[in-house]
Amino acid sequence: MIYDPYSRTMQEDPYPTYQWFRDESPCAYNEKMDFYALFRFEDVWEATLDWETYSSSLGPMLENRGQIPSEMFSIIGLDPPAHTRFRNLVSRGFTPRRIGALEREMREIARRYLDALSDRSEFDIQHEFSVKLPMDVISALLGIPPEYRDRYRRWVDGGLERDPDTGLPSEEGISGMRQARDLILDLLAQRRAAPQEDLISLLANADLEEPDQPPRRLTDAEVVGFCGLLAAAGAETTAKLIGNAVVYLGRDPAQRKRLFDDPSRIPLGVEELLRYDAPSQFQGRVAMRDVTVAGVTIPKGARVALVTGAACRDEREFEDPDRLDLARHTKREIYFGYGQHFCIGKSLARLEARIALEEIATRFPNYEVDESGLARTYQAHVRGFKNVPIRV
Ligand code: HEM
């Protein structure tokens, strides 16, 4: 069997294939795409901790074999110590105080989109709500003016799409990424001149400490790279989480009722939804030395996929892993990554998902998913729905 993360079968339902690989070939080589993949929880967990063996320096996408182009510079493609310095700096934009300060605005955004649907009995909640909320929240965090937010989301979205046959982004997608970059550059110039209370201002004016060098400001490419990463890593994943939540709760009205009747259960339920169908299915690495996993030697220089989506369903770690149990407590979580690169936006994502579900619960507690209209996106490593039509 071959693990091709971009194939339609895998995009539709990867879980039977993952199970086969966990049992039969936990460290597998894809000859055509020339990369190795790890599927078991323990192996993925260990690899995320061992950055000296599994480097992030070629970025999260498996296609990249050479240097990351400068406009794609971002924290996710760095190793310590450069990673640690950059991460310490940008973490200041994600403190509990800063995230907490966004809660009211987040709820207002969620309410505005959902209230606009109140006189309709059928709509596509993914399209009307789940993709809009996270991107608006990131835009608010960054300081992107409201009138640009829709466009910015479309540009970023298009850049993430992959042709299932070639695995490549389209011309239009590439051009969208360029337009998104130009917008950030404009805002950056404005914020360098007149800082505001937003993340672009923080990045524009923060000092990066490097050994034996005087502190320096981030370059335009560094700020653009980081903002691009936030949009790519934070918006699509959270949108998929909300869409998955709507679909899987819709399929299990009894569990949904328990959650909606007692919203204090929502945070734990969100964790289980993340485990059950991880929005980010694999993380790319490159082997810095020969390393043997489950009897297979990955040669130095090979690309490696840490398949978190498969790890989240590993029965060696989770009891009855294919069952969605919204009251499940787990010892370890891997869906936000682990080690140096664990998701910097996880508190934000959790808060958004909680707010989204609370607001859906008060308006449409008994919605029904129109299963025949469900459609998935075909994206690099983000898994989830493009269309989620519901009746309320
Ligand atoms: C459900 C939502 C989300 C999921 C499932 C998710 C998942 C992940 C995962 C698995 C990683 C680790 C990547 C690696 O090891 O190479 C990661 C890193 C990252 N995430 Fe998220 N993420 C989510 C939401 C967000 C949000 C809302 C933001 C920001 C607004 C964000 C920003 C980032 C950044 C900047 C990194 C790179 C951190 C580093 O390299 O140090 N993510 N995320």
Instruction: List strands edge to edge, sheet with 368-369.
Output: 122-124, 389-391, 368-369
Q: How many domains does the chain fold into?
A: 1
Q: Identify the band that residue 69 occupies on the pLDDT scale cut at 50, 70 and 90.
A: low
**Cα–ligand 1 centroid distance for 328 (angstroms):** 23
CATH of the domain at 312: 1.10.630.10
Q: Which atom of ligand 1 is nearest to the CA of 335?
A: 10
Q: Are 381 and 392 in contact (CB under 8 A)?
A: no
Which residue's C-alpha comes closest to atom 18 of ligand 1? 343
Q: Which residues contact 289 (CB under 8 A, 6 or more apart)?
A: 53, 300
pLDDT number for residue 114 = 98
**Cα–ligand 1 centroid distance for 254 (angstroms):** 31
Residue 60: CA atoms inside 13 Å, Cβ hemisphere, count? 23
Residue 1: inside a domain: no
Query: Which two tokens mark 112?
Result: 């505005």
The range of the structural domain enclosing residue 168 comes to 8-391
What is the Cα–Cα distance from 188 to 143, expressed in whole angstroms?
A: 10
Reported as a single tens digit per residue, the pLDDT across 214-268 is: 889 999 988 988 888 888 788 889 999 999 999 999 999 999 999 999 999 999 9
Residues lining ligand 1, judged by CB closer than 6 Å?
48, 56, 60, 75-76, 87, 138, 229-230, 233-234, 237-238, 241, 279-280, 283, 308, 335-337, 341, 343-345, 348-349
What is the Cα–Cα distance from 103 to 105, expressed in whole angstroms?
A: 5
Q: Which atom of ligand 1 is nearest to the CA of 76?
A: 40
Residue 88: inside a domain: yes
Which residue's C-alpha comes closest to atom 21 of ligand 1? 343
Q: Identify the band that residue 68 occupies on the pLDDT scale cut at 50, 70 and 90.
A: low
What is the Cα–Cα distance from 337 to 351, expressed in whole angstroms?
A: 18
Residue 2: inside a domain: no
> Quick check: pTM over 0.85?
yes
Which residue's C-alpha comes closest to atom 23 of ligand 1? 234
